[in-house]
Amino acid sequence: MPDSPASRPSDDAILCRGVVKRYDSFPALRGVDLRVQRGEVVCIVGPSGGGKSSLLRTLNALEPIDGGSIVIDGVHLPGSRADITRIRRDVGMVFQSFNLFPHMTVRRNVALAPMRARGMPRQAAEARAERLLARVGIADQIDKYPEQLSGGQQQRVAIARALAMEPRIMLFGEPTSALDPEMVNEVLEAMRELTRTGMTMVIVTHELGFAREVADRIVFMAEGTIAVDAPPSEFFAASGDSRLAAFLAKVL
């Protein structure tokens, strides 16, 4: 490896150590340790207010952390502005509320970031957008505006938009929670397809069946800490944590 050993320390895509996050005085994360290896798919589940979303948002520095450290693909957080930009360009994020840009066509939504953040020529960026939109099954909607699409279609555009930056890690924040039930599957199918490409993925979700199917590990968060971190086969059998037992009893 030509780089210094510090910049490529391991196979870890994500390494969190003792991460603390407070909102005013409320501790959303109280010392989270999490390790995600390259190519791993990790699902985070748990009751709301348990810190799942906060953790996800610290991973691309949408929320600055108040303690501990995070290493994303060799770049450390807290870090400089340049480090943060680098992380954001290499980490894709899909939000619960899609957050597509409403004043732009689907094509432009997907092509914009490669042009502005990677200096890609417009034609190449739009060609990439077409390819990615075909991949998530909505090539025929490319000239429409987000408001003309269903929720499921919008979320698939959002996935394509994140993929357009060719990220090495994809973060999903409850990507199906805002969808009508009949649209959940089309989004899960797009994500399922992504897991087969070997993409490193961290998924906050309430879809336990999906988590069981695609995850290499399932992480249960409650009260700002990781209470259980296990492969699916062990996760659902884990009765050691009373909070997990209570959670599973409620949602299963």
Partner 1 sequence: MGFDGGIILRHLPELSAGLRLTLLLAVVALLVGTALGFFGCLGKLLGRGLLFWIASIYVTVMRGVPEMVVMFWIYYCGPLVLGAKLSSFAAAATAMSLFAGAHLAEIFRAGILAVPRGQSEAARALGLPIFSQWVEIVLPQALRMMIPPFIGLVTLVIKISGLASAIGVAELVYEASIVSGQTYRYFELFSAVGVLYFLIIFPLSLTAQRYERVLARRSR
- 146-185 residues near partner 1, rule: CB under 8 A: 147, 161-162, 165
Which amino acid belongs to residue 53? S
Q: How far is the CB of 223 from partner 1 (least distance, A)?
A: 25
CB 32 within 8 A of CB 16: yes
Closer of 117 and 124 to partner 1 (Cβ): 117
Regarding 97 and contact with partner 1 (CB under 8 A), the answer is yes
Maximum pairwise Cα distance, the chain = 55
DSSP secondary structure letters along 81-148: HHHHHHHHHHEEEE-TT----TTS-HHHHHHHHHHHHH---HHHHHHHHHHHHHHTT-GGGTTS-GGG
Closer of 88 and 217 to partner 1 (Cβ): 88
Binding segment (CB under 8 A) for partner 1, from list 30-38, 89-97, 193-201, 211-219: 89-97
- Cα 38 to chain center, whole Å? 14
From 53, 54, 60, 155, residue interacting with partner 1 (rule: CB under 8 A): 60
Q: Given the rule CB under 8 A, which residues bind partner 1?
A: 60, 62, 85, 88-89, 91-93, 95, 97, 99-103, 112-113, 116-117, 147, 161-162, 165
